[in-house]
Amino acid sequence: MLQKGWGMPPTAYLFGLVLAVTAVAAVYDWRTGHIPNWLTLGAVAAGVVFHAGYGLVTGGAQAALSAAGFSVVGAVVCAAVPLLLYRFGAIGGGDVKLLAAMGALLRPMLGIEAELYAFIAIAIVAPGKLAYDGKLGAVLGNTLAIAKNPFLPKERRREVPAEVLTPVIFGPATFVGACGVALMHWSSL
């Protein structure tokens, strides 16, 4: 269904924007191991502004406020689990902000779906890459130690030094997640 003056359904613009943001993030993360703040925080702001603008055009000030609020909720919901992972050192801060940006652009339901696809992608690819590099056994042992530590008394906890942890580049997985949600929902536009 086309909206007057938009040319395409607004969701198509959002899919295009989230694909562009995650593609740029994937390239940055692959090359440098970091995702720039200007990209992630800019995408959060763009999501809120886009949804507010569309709400204003189609339903007035009340609809604009509601749409902007729903975009913010999307960012918060999509950042909740990654923030917990970040707290335990399992994911980087740029990854958390990128997932929040996907939530702001796609709002809660599609944002969570894209996030799920990204986590599935990394769960499939990372073990293969680690096995290829000969690091899978060590990483699994460290992961088990980190997972058990909160449940053990302090004297039985095994500290895992930061230098033996193997970073996993998550940016490309977010691009896969964005592609997945776009492919699954593009036909419903």
Q: What is the pLDDT of residues 136-170, one digit of tens each?
A: 888 888 788 878 888 888 888 877 776 666 778 89
Residue 136, domain member (yes or no):
no
Residues of the chain with pLDDT > 90, as a percent, come to 61
Residues of the chain with pLDDT > 70, as a percent, come to 91
Residue 155, domain member (yes or no):
no
Residue of higher predicted confidence among 118 and 167: 118
Unique residue bearing structure tokens 């603008």: 53
Sign of torsion, CA 81 124 88 23? negative
What pTM does this model have?
0.84
Please say whether the beta carbons of 83 and 96 come within 8 A.
yes
Residue 151, domain member (yes or no):
no
Looking at residue 4, its pLDDT comes to 52
Provide the residue range defining the domain that includes 110: 10-114+169-188
Residue 82, domain member (yes or no):
yes
Residue 51, domain member (yes or no):
yes
Residue 62, domain member (yes or no):
yes
C-alpha radius of gyration, the chain, whole number: 19
Residue 137, domain member (yes or no):
no
Residue 106, domain member (yes or no):
yes
Please say whether the beta carbons of 78 and 119 come within 8 A.
no
SS3 24: helix
Q: Considering only CA atoms, which of 17, 177, 38 is closest in space to residue 94? A: 38
Domain count, the chain: 1
